[in-house]
Amino acid sequence: MPEGLPSEPPRELSRRLKLASLAIAAIYGVSLVLTNALGAAGWPASPHPGLHNLIGASIVVLSAAMAWVAHRDRLPPARLLDVGLGYEVLVAAGISLQDNLGPVALARPLHDISWLAILIVLFPLVVAAPPAKGLAASLLAASMWPLAFLAGIRWLGNPVPPASVAVLNFLENYFAAALALVPTLIVRQLAADVQKARRMGSYQLVELLAQGGMGEVWRARHNMLARPAAIKLVRGHALGLGRGAPDESLLRRFEREAQATAALHSPHTVELYDFGVTADGTFYYVMEILDGLDLEQLVRRFGPVPPERAVHLLLQLCDSLADAHAVGLVHRDVKPANVYACRKGLKYDFVKLLDFGLVKPAWRDHVGDSSLTQEGAVPGTPAYLAPEVALGSLDVDGRADLYAAGCVAYWLLTGQRVFEAKSAVQMAVAHAQATPVPPSRRAGRPIPPALEEVVLSCLEKDPGRRPATADELARRLSECGLERAWSQEDARAWWQANVAMGTGA
């Protein structure tokens, strides 16, 4: 099984976690009522009924909160899995504390099986974590018992039992943790089989490459062709949609956007192979798989690039934008993470612009509009937001992309964003009102004045003072009068020295 595969499909994980936490809440809720009713009727009660009730009520509240988090399904799968395992440990702590409110039985140790052991064995059937992570969570859950045992002695005055009795009680839960590996491995394998069977159109998912708040990117293979591909999945809730299939107007809009993107001709626009929507409302599109890294990673890992390399990369970005603007498409989310530098055949530092007009959060506010690229509909990323977009203007055209291209150039040359802010709102206000510091003051290296002038012209607040088109920006970049150009020999030498190719990342 590929290492990147998650333990189970995201929606299945949230559904199971919700059901399990609701079941635990119900069990403890009923247990609280019965325990207090039987205690009132004269049955033996806990030595500390108040603490017993407080712990039980805490588990009910914690379980209800876990069910709510799982039901909202807003967390990425990996984060939701970690939250679920943390929930297991907290419930284990509550069970352990209740077990140790009174002294440990001396005559017949292990006469009764602790609910903690049952939780440890059964929880992996609900949350199929990777074996190492699942075992770590089980061992941590088992360790709650000896900690609670010591707390009972220290703070409740429980007598210290013989060492053999204490060890037997400890080992019960650690044996359960070891036994929990069996359901973990079984469910893990079943989940892997389900994942291998997942198909998007004619493509089969093979390996998870990346994931974030909007969705996931997978390596995929075609069922009939040898061509590899990348599939981007965008979960419906990330678009502000409810559960289930999206409405027809949104589907038609997604189809028009995808078809328009697929029709672009620039070699510097990522090639789109296929697109669609699954039955559960997950949008997906299939694109060429790229061998390299995006400009965000490039600068974070290796620092700002020389001016001649920045110009080389920006000229290719301009080619993609010019092609799109010519047919009326505005990207609206140009940023370093969406500009990929890769190897294409024998060429290095070959730029590909990603995510062109596909599936943006603000669609839900404009799904009835017949316009393919609705003015002002997509807010983009705050750190690369044109002032007119930040101010909510409806008069947005390709010059908003050129502003963002200037922000990308600033990042390449300085390793810093044009503006820094603590919140998205503050960042938007800065783009709308603040004057950018010239990149030469922040770069730590000389920047040719002509190049700096071009970058600052892209960052003008008034769109009319920016380059009018991507072609004009490319012309001005070409006329910066740099001492030397970035050649293919330079690019090949840099990549071979710094980046292991062939990863298809």
Give catalytic residues, as residue numbers.
333
List of residues 6+ apart from 218 with CB closer than 8 A: 205, 206, 207, 208, 209, 230, 231, 232, 233
> Would you say the C-alpha torsion 331, 335, 337, 339 has a positive or negative sign?
positive
Token pair belonging to 174 = 């650690």
User: Quick check: helix, strand or coil at residue 371?
Assistant: coil
Rounded Cα gap, residues 220 and 504, in angstroms? 11
Rounded Cα gap, residues 446 and 40, in angstroms? 83
Q: Do 11 and 191 meet the contact criterion of CB atoms below 8 Å apart?
A: no
Cα angle, residue 400 at apex, residues 397 and 406 outer, rounded to 5°: 150
CB environment 86-112: b (16+ within 10 A), e (fewer): ebbbbbbbbbbbbbbbbebeeeebeee
**Residue 231: strand pairing partners:** 218, 286
Token pair belonging to 453 = 């002038």
Q: Do 348 and 356 meet the contact criterion of CB atoms below 8 Å apart?
A: no
Q: Do 60 and 163 meet the contact criterion of CB atoms below 8 Å apart?
A: no
Place of tokens 């290719």: 316
Q: Do 290 and 504 meet the contact criterion of CB atoms below 8 Å apart?
A: yes
Polymer length of the chain: 505
Q: Do 37 and 89 meet the contact criterion of CB atoms below 8 Å apart?
A: no
Distance, CA of 129 to chain centre = 18
**Residue 53: strand pairing partners:** none
Which ranges of 379-505 would DSSP assign to H, the alpha helix? 387-390, 399-414, 424-433, 449-458, 470-478, 488-498
Rounded Cα gap, residues 259 and 267, in angstroms? 17
Place of tokens 């992570």: 133
Q: Do 208 and 218 meet the contact criterion of CB atoms below 8 Å apart?
A: yes
Closest Cα partner for 471 from 223, 299, 266?
266
Token pair belonging to 26 = 């119900």
